[in-house]
Amino acid sequence: MIVGVGIDVVDVARFSRQLERVPGLVERLFTSDEQGLPPASMAARFAAKEAVAKALGAPVGLRWTDVTVRRLEGGRPVLEVSGTVAARAAELGVDSFHLSLSHDAGIASAVVVAERADPAPAPGLDPGLDPGAA
Ligand SMILES: CC(C)(COP(=O)(O)OP(=O)(O)OC[C@H]1O[C@@H](n2cnc3c(N)ncnc32)[C@H](O)[C@@H]1OP(=O)(O)O)[C@@H](O)C(=O)NCCC(=O)NCCS
């Protein structure tokens, strides 16, 4: 079942200027795998982190580098979470994330869906009463 969704948009040029201007910001926001990508891809990854936070209810204390966007062969992006973000996901029972990124016309965007596997039916439940049963 879907536990949360998140979306974010980022102005690529403004974000790139901020990364250049603020010392240490790249390292604070991005894992080593994410650093050095083209500006639109960096901005989309920042949007992905914001979208993860929204999908988890944006509690205080999430660390930017506890979310990494990885690229699968063929280009599909996937999320990996650790530390503060993994702990919040566990609190909500979230066991998988789905991610889509896009960038065009100076804007980068990301959508995240946080999901948890449906609970197993209670032992002894009459299958006729279990809406998940075939
Ligand atoms: C709350 C927060 C998500 C708002 O994001 P923003 O970039 O400032 O603003 P955006 O325009 O993208 O989004 C605004 C919308 O976020 C939504 N929002 C606000 N609080 C939210 C929450 N706790 N959970 C989910 N969505 C929330 C609202 O719908 C709001 O729109 P509205 O004011 O019209 O209702 C942001 O301030 C925040 O806390 N970000 C997370 C920081 C963080 O944890 N970083 C580490 C990530 S791993």
What pLDDT, on the 0 to 100 scale, is given for residue 126? 60
DSSP 8-state assignment for residue 119: P
Domain count, the chain: 1
What pLDDT, on the 0 to 100 scale, is given for residue 118? 78
Q: Tell me the pTM.
A: 0.90
What pLDDT, on the 0 to 100 scale, is given for residue 60? 98
Residues 6+ apart with CB under 8 A from 83: 63, 66
| Residue 47 belongs to some domain of the structure | yes
| Residue 67 belongs to some domain of the structure | yes
88: Cβ below 6 Å to ligand 1?
Answer: no
CA atoms within 13 A on the CB side of 66: 13
Domain that holds residue 31: 2-115
| Residue 131 belongs to some domain of the structure | no
Tokens describing residue 94:
């979230």
What pLDDT, on the 0 to 100 scale, is given for residue 130? 56
d(CA 103, CA 96): 24
Mutate which of 3, 8, 31, 50 for ligand 1 pocket (most atoms within 8 A of beta carbon): 50
For the chain, residues with pLDDT lower than 70 are: 120-122, 125-134
CATH at residue 51: 3.90.470.20
Tokens describing residue 83:
């530390």
